[in-house]
Amino acid sequence: MVQNKDSTFVLVHGAWHGGWCWKKLAPLLRAAGHTVYTPTLTGLGERAHLLSPQIGLNTHIADITAVLEFENLRNIFLVGHSYAGMVITGVAEVAAQRLSHLIFLDAFVPLDGQSLLDTRPDRGAPVRKFAGEAGDGWKVPIVNATFGVTDAADVAWMSARMTPQPLRTFEEPVRLTNPAAHALPRSYILCRQNEPTLFDSHAQRVKSERWGYFELLTGHDAMITAPKELADILLKIATD
């Protein structure tokens, strides 16, 4: 197979993370000849000073759409990790003409009118309760979560960089009305270790819809725990 050497990847991080989380993965894609962008969503990572109750899913959709527009990017492989499955779904609705492929990395895949919390079996009651108790009612702190990362150095590195997530990002729904977005090629990468996860139901659904489908035997934060294996899958998707 011949690799397309001029592909552009835009990697969108999940909740509580930032563009920093792609530090191990991005160089591997660049070394293979691709252009890579790793934006940080408003209110998170190095943009945590902008955190406010007004930040919602639509803010983050606008963040990524702006990157595509201001950088004049086209034929994009848009990758969304975890929460960012919501984000890239929304970006496709408003910028389908700039996209080549949507890639959901252990991510939420909403139906029309769903918020992230709507996709959960518990409808997000524990998340809202935690925000009320520990986040002034509008943000969700991160406490003792390693997202499947087991290496002590990696855990220390990521723990020092994770920041609270605005609750509104989990509560705003996404509307799916654009036929051009619906027609985009899509792939799903499921990260699994031994136990069922929140993402198994999403994986089963997209398999039934005949998306491209891959599995990684690693934790949820595959870009940290298995960057080489993840890069291989992304490069395979970009090969044609």
Residue 131 has pLDDT above 60, yes or no: yes
Question: Using an 8 Å Cβ cutoff, are 135 and 167 in contact?
Answer: yes
pLDDT range class, residue 5, cuts 50, 70, 90: low
Whether 207 shows a pLDDT value over 60: the answer reads yes
Give the mean model confidence (pLDDT) for residues 200-220.
95
Candidates 6, 203, 193; CA nearest to 100 is: 6
- Cβ atoms of 25 and 45 within 8 Å: the answer is no
8-238 topology per CATH: Rossmann fold (3.40.50)
* Domain positions in the chain: 8-238
Residue 101 sits at φ, ψ, to 5 deg, of: -160, 140
Return d(Cα 198, Cα 98) in angstroms, integer: 30
What's the rounded Cα separation, in Å, for the pair 120 and 104?
A: 17
First to last CA, the chain: 7
- With contact defined as beta carbons under 8 Å apart, do 62 and 181 qualify? no
The whole-angstrom distance between residue 237's C-alpha and the CA centroid of its chain comes to 17
The answer to whether the Cα torsion of 48, 50, 52, 57 is positive or negative is negative
Average pLDDT over residues 32-57: 98
> Does 1 have pLDDT greater than 70?
no
Please give the mean pLDDT across all residues of the chain.
95
- Rg of the chain on CA atoms, in Å: 17
Helix (H, G, I), strand (E, B) or coil at 168: helix
CA distance 222 to 153: 15
Q: Which residues are catalytic?
A: 82
**How many Cα atoms are found within 13 Å in the side-chain-facing hemisphere of 209?**
16
pLDDT (tens digit per residue) in 102-125 = 999 999 999 999 999 999 888 889
The number of beta carbons lying within 10 Å of the beta carbon of residue 190 is 21
